[in-house]
Structure 1
């Protein structure tokens, strides 16, 4: 995965489990509809040097994005009941591992920590949790897109609302000459999306790197919290105790197998 170097991005390094939790849950929570809701989504990575790069960018074939999605639709045997926009297909494709311009996030800081610490083979290197202010990102949307979100009464888009704004990726990209980022909640295709408390982001340019776009804003809309290698085993134990495991986040026999494999391959901490 490409490395990242954005000196303008705030980077914090906790030294204890308590500091780590305080930092993850430190952002102010505005009150909406009589409840407190965070404006922040999180993404955990096993290596602190990794940036926020989409899967189609990692593939190195951004120019084939349309071909990938077209052929996914052609050969898919699990079509939607209705196919009014690209967004249902793009979400389904991302969920099943097709390289796309979508980036996965979660509303849960603990779920993000799971993805930063799940690979025990990488416990000798620092991980990271990136946190992005999606509400502030939406304040920078083109007028017609921002107005559609405001009229919906929500703070994040849905695939249906995106379909109303622009039913195709080509029309989405043409809405404004400057790239903009949208965060949307995927439909509950299965328990994995529900249990991971998922959020997706998408830029109006498949070539634009999410970390570069978020860091370029004034002020930057993203923060990187480093999970020191020395803390990873303890963090992993605390997450397991809280039932933030593969068994829960990837329901089914595959997740169960991943959980047991990690559990029995982890060296003792003492």
Structure 2
């Protein structure tokens, strides 16, 4: 499983473990979200793992950390937003897996991976899955067990500008990763802003 960081200083910590959320009770905040979200969800999730996955997907600060089975998707997230300096691509082989039949995610005792059922089209398109972090503020580099394997690939700053174009040639761009009007609009805007890359006087083809 893979995760891209556009800023090399970012830690492998879920949002609930980062400021300003790290001082809050993330379970209590999730329960409040769960109570108020029912009017927007039909059908409703069948268990707490699915509830938490949807909350994470829609931006709630949770103890889940996003990963993908697709290394090119992770690379896209590492370089699609520009930051000066290197980008990081993490590769994790997690030893423990939590199943949806397991107890509440808030009773998990060890860091592990969790692969959700189809709860959102974006998760499917992105080959998405998560790690669950019982202590959200502790970085994965410290929380992982000796049976977990974590590797880091450094994407040097000089390659960052070119990589989004190369990824788009392989069908990895905003439009494919975010299968909705927002993703399509972002991709067309990106194409328009970089049209000189796609079109030359000798070639009338483009990258749309």
TM-score (norm 2): 0.83
1:115 to 77, 87, 99: 77
Counterparts of 1:108 and 1:168 in 2: how far apart (Å)?
25
Counterparts of 1:186 and 1:231 in 2: how far apart (Å)?
33
Pairing 1:48-197 to 2, within 5 Å after superposition = 48-62=8-22, 63-76=24-37, 77-79=39-41, 81=43, 85-119=47-81, 121-122=82-83, 124-134=84-94, 137-138=95-96, 156-158=97-99, 160-162=100-102, 166-167=103-104, 169=106, 171-173=107-109, 180-197=110-127
Counterparts of 1:194 and 1:218 in 2: how far apart (Å)?
30
Alignment pair present for 1:264 and 2:192: yes
TM-score (norm 1): 0.65
Counterparts of 1:242 and 1:86 in 2: how far apart (Å)?
36
After superposition, the Cα gap between the structure-2 partners of 1:133 and 1:257, relative to the gap in structure 1 and judged at 3 Å, is same
Instruction: Identify unmatched segments of 5+ residues in structure 1.
Output: 1-40, 139-155, 174-179
Instruction: Identify unmatched segments of 5+ residues in structure 2.
Output: 198-208
- Cα offset, 1:83, TM superposition: 6.0
Counterparts of 1:188 and 1:104 in 2: how far apart (Å)?
15
Counting helix residues as a fraction of each chain, which structure ranks higher?
Answer: 1
Q: Answer yes or no: is the 8 Å Cα contact 1:43–1:112 preserved in 2.
A: yes
Q: Answer yes or no: is the 8 Å Cα contact 1:111–1:244 preserved in 2.
A: yes
Between the two proteins, the alignment pairs up a number of residues equal to 195
